[in-house]
Structure 1
């Protein structure tokens, strides 16, 4: 008697329960923390699905006790999340903090430096790394909206974008690339 193969489509697919972990730097200024929470809450409202809401947790790299990255991971795991989408709320991919965070989630280093964080315990959840803001079009639009109030004649004006930067060559390059793309977006849309 010959065994027959069961088609793969008859196997149940693993249950996927996504959750989003938003990570920002952290601050002693409660007003700054509240602004981050308000932005995350506004974005969360847009993530409602027919199968139910996607849990979104706002966490911080440092300073905000009880709301650090591992606290956020633990909260998502308690909600039954199987897949954690990690969204670093940082301006640039050139931030060494972002590389530290991603290494702690098991991602390879972006450069030669070893991350400075302990490995996060994710309880078997799959990690899906996201990217920082870099040159997102929506951010360029927000910057332009703020700049327009100050501008009188963009064609005869210059605009200087200033970013944090990095001494590390790989990260400096990322800062420079992202800022250059952002400057080009703003120049093209604003006429500077």
Structure 2
């Protein structure tokens, strides 16, 4: 009798394992159609991650997808409909965001159906974001500040722009989030000091400007301060797809009721704004695969 029970347990376990199907879901914010380049860089990660998984012989994932939180397809809920059709049972969802924020901590879990706040859910519906309703088991992974893959990418970005490190200053602009500001300050300080240690630049400052909305109020000040200290200022952005050059070009400052292009405040200053963000860079895909490996082997 005991042998029969043991055999049944083993058969049940094997059957359960055979029925399990795992998927890796990479969630990015998404941008309006006019910013198609940003979306393209993120969507291309899907195939890159598949390639890295294959190259490193990491098995256990039946599907890999990228989904966008808003603005543009593929939407998160649509991807889960596809997962259900494929018989996926478990999803590891990694938010492709710089650091913890309202999006990664509140919006994404709500969209995934993992948490519920009526006010937040209603707000998402007003933005035409569908809430996932599924029996698939979902686990949410960390943001990019975990094991900080960004510092080496941004170091290379600075090296491309640097000419005379001892005469240069570095300013890092990032989104920031008032509810998680200690984490944002830590990650920008860690990255800035890492770049200083590996370039010879000895001046660093930072500014939290969302995606440019507060550039004129919170970005200009550290940039001008750096320009007063050094002959040349390198400004880089801690953003997945967006460079800070476009941000600086488009920013508007209101002075005594009159609008003025913010870039005029940098006239006669030797300031270089980086044109690219973290992507495209294979190290982002490798970071995602490492997180995926940790989860599948847990």
State if a TM-score over 0.5 links the two structures.
Answer: yes
Cross-structure match for 1:58: 66
Deviation at 1:184, TM superposition (A): 3.4
Which structure has more RCO (C-alpha within 8 Å, separation ≥ 6)?
1
Alpha-carbon spacing, 1:114–1:63, altered in 2? closer, same or farther (3 Å): closer
- Asked whether 1:22 is paired with 2:29, we answer no
Structure 1 length as normaliser, TM-score?
A: 0.77
Task: Report the structure number with the largest CA radius of gyration.
Answer: 2
Alignment of 1:130-149 (within 5 A): 130-134=141-145, 136-149=147-160
Deviation at 1:107, TM superposition (A): 4.8
Secondary structure of the corresponding residue to residue 161 of structure 2: coil
Cross-structure match for 2:247: none
Contact 1:137 1:185 (8 Å CA) reproduced: no
Alpha-carbon spacing, 1:158–1:70, altered in 2? closer, same or farther (3 Å): same
Secondary structure of the corresponding residue to residue 149 of structure 1: helix
Secondary structure of the corresponding residue to residue 12 of structure 1: helix
Contact 1:21 1:58 (8 Å CA) reproduced: yes
Deviation at 1:69, TM superposition (A): 0.9
Secondary structure of the corresponding residue to residue 13 of structure 2: coil
Deviation at 1:20, TM superposition (A): 1.2
Alignment of 1:37-186 (within 5 A): 37-48=43-54, 49=57, 54-65=62-73, 67-93=74-100, 95-99=101-105, 100-105=107-112, 107=114, 116-117=123-124, 119-122=131-134, 124-134=135-145, 136-154=147-165, 157-167=168-178, 169=179, 171-186=180-195
- Runs of 5+ unmatched residues, structure 1: none
Counterparts of 1:152 and 1:138, CA distance in 2? 24
Q: Which of the two has greater strand per residue?
A: 2
Q: Which of the two has greater helix per residue?
A: 2
Contact 1:24 1:88 (8 Å CA) reproduced: yes
Alpha-carbon spacing, 1:180–1:106, altered in 2? closer, same or farther (3 Å): farther
